[in-house]
Amino acid sequence: MCLAVPGRVLDIGEKDGTRMATVDFGGVQKEVCLEYLPDLRVGEYAIVHVGFALQRLDEESARQTLALFEELGMLQEEFGDPWEQAAAQAGADSTWPFADGPFADGPLAGEATAPQHAQEEGRP
């Protein structure tokens, strides 16, 4: 219930005096209220919860965060333990959660059936 998911605005209109949009969630389309994000535009992404757009998703911030993670890797390459890095690289092509990687004692890969919301970005 508290799940909030990212979606892309397809079109914007009005209903009962309220600003509404059709939002696409990876193929599923829903009617969404834009009263809390009145300046959201067609083509933009927003976090949507129970039929309400609550916050714009900022692509620039997403890019910066990913760049930070990349940078962390570069620092590791510069100052880290080469043997650990070699081990990490050996498993670098594996998918989460590193069934063949350096932390291989981990979880049950693929044991559980993914729930409906497996592709969603986030919750409450």
Partner 1 sequence: MKYIDEFQDPALARRLLDDIHATVTRPWALMEVCGGQTHTIIRHGIDQLLPEQVELIHGPGCPVCVTPLEVIDKALEIASRPDVIFCSFGDMLRVPGTGRDLFQVRSEGGDVRVVYSPLDALRVAQDNPQRQVVFFGIGFETTAPPNAMTVHQAKKLGIRNFSLLVSHVRVPPAIEAIMKSPSCRVQGFLAAGHVCSVMGVGEYPELAERHRVPVVVTGFEPLDILEGVRRAVRQLERGEHTVENAYARAVRPEGNPAALAMLEDVFEVTDRAWRGIGVIPDSGWRLSARYRDFDAEHRFSVSGIDTREPAECRSGEVLQGLLKPHECEAFGTLCTPRSPLGATMVSSEGACAAYYLYRRLELGTAPAAATTPLEASPVV
**Binding footprint of partner 1 on the chain (CB under 8 A):** 1-4, 6-8, 16-18, 26, 30-31, 33, 35-38, 45, 47, 49-52, 54-55, 57-59, 61-62, 64-66, 69-70, 72-73, 76, 80, 84, 88, 91-92, 94-98, 101-103, 105-109, 111-117, 119-124
The residue type of 123 is: R
Secondary element (H or E) of residue 7: strand 4-15
**Closer by beta carbon to partner 1, 22 or else 121:** 121
Under a CB-based contact definition with an 8 Å cutoff, are residues 23 and 43 in contact? no
Nearer to partner 1, 11 or 26 (CB): 26
CB of 41 to partner 1, least distance (A): 16
CB of residue 36 vs partner 1: minimum separation in angstroms?
A: 5
Q: 3-state SS of 18-45?
A: EEEEEEEECCEEEEEECCCCCCCCCCCE
Minimum CB separation from partner 1 for residue 4, in Å? Answer: 5
Q: Which helix (H) or strand (E) holds 15?
A: strand 4-15
Nearest approach in angstroms of CB 22 to partner 1 is: 14
Q: Are 7 and 40 in contact (CB under 8 A)?
A: no
